[in-house]
Structure 1
Amino acid sequence: MEEESAPSVWWRRGELIGCGAFGHVYMGMNLDSEELLAVKQVLTRANSASKEKPQAHIRELEEEVNLLKNLSHPNIIRYLGTSRKEYTLNILLEFFPGGSTSSLRATRFIP
């Protein structure tokens, strides 16, 4: 994965708030600003059970990060940076409470 251009964030991982097929999402805290953030944590090494190399998965992560870096809109979760630690890639995102968008129900607003 290419070197990131976003400023580094000094952060601490908190409790697990969700999980998916390729990783887990944790609550985090920016230790400089004390703001909450979401940390998508993904293993980047081969699965010991399948012995498959995760090259396709790493390419997908690179595409996701590149997309997030270029998005800027008030209604889109903000990308804050990435960090690596041995076989783990951490994607740092703005935290928005309320769960995943799949858990939200559509409601009609009538002024």
Structure 2
Amino acid sequence: MTTTAALLTVTDATFAETVLTSDLPVLVEFTAGWCPPCRMIEPVLHELAAEQTGHLTVAQLDVDANPATAAAYQVLSMPTLMLFRNGAPIHTLVGARSKRRLLADLDGLF
């Protein structure tokens, strides 16, 4: 697990420990290096991670390097944003979005 600002990078090996056992809700972006919309939403995720420290963890998982986790959650499109709470996915969003729209989509969920 590495940290870029407040945005975590998770892998197949660290996903369960970092996401499923977290005391905080975790927003995971399933991403890929070849995905332009993924690059578009990355600054939004960095801002959200920094602003929500202590309330929400934001993480990224590269689907090409970590196919087992992506397959386990049936992720087929990038970016897929999945909010986990208490070890379970509670909300899924597909596609890039503005910070305002992302916050509206997640309102009341974390």
Q: TM-score range by the shorter chain?
A: 0.3 to 0.5
Give TM-score scaled by structure 2 length: 0.34
Structure with bigger RCO (C-alpha 8 Å, 6+ apart): 2
- Is the strand fraction higher in 1 or 2? 1
Give TM-score scaled by structure 1 length: 0.34
